[in-house]
Structure 1
Amino acid sequence: MTTTKKPRFSAAVGLQYEGEDSQAPSVCVKGEGRVADEIVRLAQRFGVPIVEKSELTELLGTISLDEAIPEDLYEAVAVILCELESFQNRPKR
């Protein structure tokens, strides 16, 4: 009998932002279930910051790959980007 491991994450979405070269962040990867777990595992392996916001993940999951996020999500994504930037710029102890 084989046991199937239940996925830890129901969904995952990765964003990329090229700064001044692009108008808005775009969806670069997304998946559900085991694929979501693999996305998170690889992000951790390569030091990509992970933010868990299920409602935002659900909204971002409706966007096609390589598509820029819509204007109505700018504020929510900007808050996360600011949090990540302040986290990355804080002094290390």
Structure 2
Amino acid sequence: MIQNGINKKKAVALRYQPDLDVSPKVIGTGKGMAAEQLIAKAKEHDIPIQEDETLVEMLAQLELNQAIPSELYEVVAEVFAFIYKIDQNT
């Protein structure tokens, strides 16, 4: 889950299943109340949340279930590295 913190919250949920997906996919987006609900659901299920306003803006333009474009691989890899690090510490 990635969120930004400007006036009207936006959030994007990503999924990556190496055995099924070639690259991570956008599985949810929202702004305002929808973003708040995505964030609440992520917290409820102990899904790590990273704030990155620029990345949210870019990913929010993608369609649901659309694989992220190769131009975003590096920055999204950083998000997954962040999640991996959290998982290793729990």
Q: TM-score, normalised by structure 2?
A: 0.87
Quick check: 1:21 aligned with 2:20?
yes
Instruction: Give the 5 Å matches for 1:1-93.
Output: 10-90=9-89, 92=90
1:43-63: CA deviation from partner (whole Å, max 9, x where unpaired):
101111111101100000000
The 8 Å contact of residues 16 and 28 in structure 1, kept in 2 or not, is answered as: yes
Q: How many percent of aligned residue pairs carry the same amino acid?
A: 30
Q: Which has the larger radius of gyration?
A: 1
Deviation at 1:9, TM superposition (A): 5.4
The 8 Å contact of residues 9 and 37 in structure 1, kept in 2 or not, is answered as: no
Aligned residues: 84
Higher share in strand: 2
AA aligned to 2:84 is: E
Distance 2:69 2:80 in 1: 16
- Provide structure 1 residue ranges, at least 5 long, that are not aligned to the other structure: 1-7
Deviation at 1:21, TM superposition (A): 2.3
Instruction: Give secondary structure in 2 for the equivalent of 1:21.
Output: coil
RMSD between aligned residues: 1.3
The 8 Å contact of residues 9 and 33 in structure 1, kept in 2 or not, is answered as: yes
Runs of at least 4 residues off by over 4 Å = none
Task: Go from structure 1 to structure 2 and tell me whether the alpha carbon gap of 1:9 and 1:81 turns closer, same or farther (over 3 Å shift).
Answer: farther
